[in-house]
Amino acid sequence: MSGFNLDDYIRKVPDFPKKGILFYDITSILASPAAFQHCIDSMVSIYKDKSIEAVAAIEARGFLFAAPFAIVMKIPLIPIRKKGKLPGITLSKKYILEYAQAEIEVHREDVPAGKRVLIMDDLIATGGTLGAARSLLEAGGAKVPEIFGVLGLPFLGYEKILAPTPVTTLIRYNNESL
């Protein structure tokens, strides 16, 4: 898809979820088979030679991109969920949101000790959830060589939070203006 402009498929919604916030909505990518396929093809192209042995996806929209990626790459998909959504023995990590605290979990037995696990989400904003996911996976013995997001908002400081782990995105927005 030479010349494909993914930005054309990202809906920008001003003042959502509250006044002063510009929301970048990826559901318009999912509504376009061509845009969705472009994302999956691009992700596979980026990672096909990087010895990724599993992909961990952040609930919920990270699942939408990681699942087809895992199938094409023939690697396991590890769901990282909000607290209380997984049965059995889990590893959990609390982290700070803008004005609150949250907690995510992963099944302990799903974390492949010693293996290279790519963490994936749809959008990377502050990096808090992804940083917590990295901590969870590393606590279970996995190696996290890189973090991936379809969209990145580096003006919110995620690169500092996620350092030294490299972060790759298909598209980056460097400020909040349209």
> Residue holding tokens 């096909």?
48
Short-list 159, 155, 162, CA closest to 138:
162
Residue 61 designated active-site: yes
Active-site annotation holder among 11, 53, 59, 98 = 98
User: Residue 175 has what DSSP assignment?
Assistant: S
- DSSP string covering 8-48, please? GG-EEEET-SSTT-EEEETHHHHT-HHHHHHHHHHHHHHHT
Active-site annotation holder among 11, 53, 59, 61 = 61
Please identify every residue annotated as catalytic: 61, 98
